[in-house]
Amino acid sequence: MTIQTNPVLQHGTELSIPLSKLKTSPRNARRTRHSEADIATLAASIEAKGVLQPPVVEPELDRTGAGTGSYLVTIGEGRRQALRLLAKRKVIAKDAPIRCLLDTMSIGAQSGPPIGAQKGPPCRCRRAAWSGALA
């Protein structure tokens, strides 16, 4: 029988990660912040139904490329904030296990340009839309 002490985790693996080990990612898909009302509404939904769609995470790496033991939430920051609100209200523990999906495809990848950014001058349709010709 072979015992793996350091299993290689594959993209899409489901993990149970303590809430206290989940951090916000600078590569989060959402560019606008969630309002407090949205977080409270989401927290109420999670309290009633649970987390229906697990957050997507990637391991946090230090400068040497070694894992820190924490995970960065790349998709699902609102859920992370709602879970933290539930922990603050003592509905769940601060280190409650959270079901997450592992994203290993973007580890070490450069984050791309912001959504809507483009190289070079805008195409004719964008120039027309910006000038009001298509409005």
CATH code of the domain made up of 14-108? 3.90.1530.10
Tokens 């009001």, residue located: 132
Which tokens in the block code for residue 132? 């009001």
Q: For residue 2, what pLDDT is reported?
A: 43
Q: Which residues make Cβ contacts (< 8 Å) with residue 111, sequence separation at least 6?
A: 26, 27
Q: For residue 106, what pLDDT is reported?
A: 67
Q: What is the pTM of this model?
A: 0.71
3-state secondary structure of 120: coil
Average per-residue pLDDT for the chain: 79
More confident residue, 113 or 27: 27
Q: Are 25 and 74 in contact (CB under 8 A)?
A: yes
Q: Quick: pLDDT tens for 84-128.
A: 999 999 999 999 999 999 988 765 544 444 444 444 454 444 444
Which tokens in the block code for residue 74? 């790349």
- What is the C-alpha separation between 89 and 129, in angstroms, rounded? 47
Q: Which of 12-26, 28-42, 79-93 has the lowest mean pLDDT?
A: 28-42
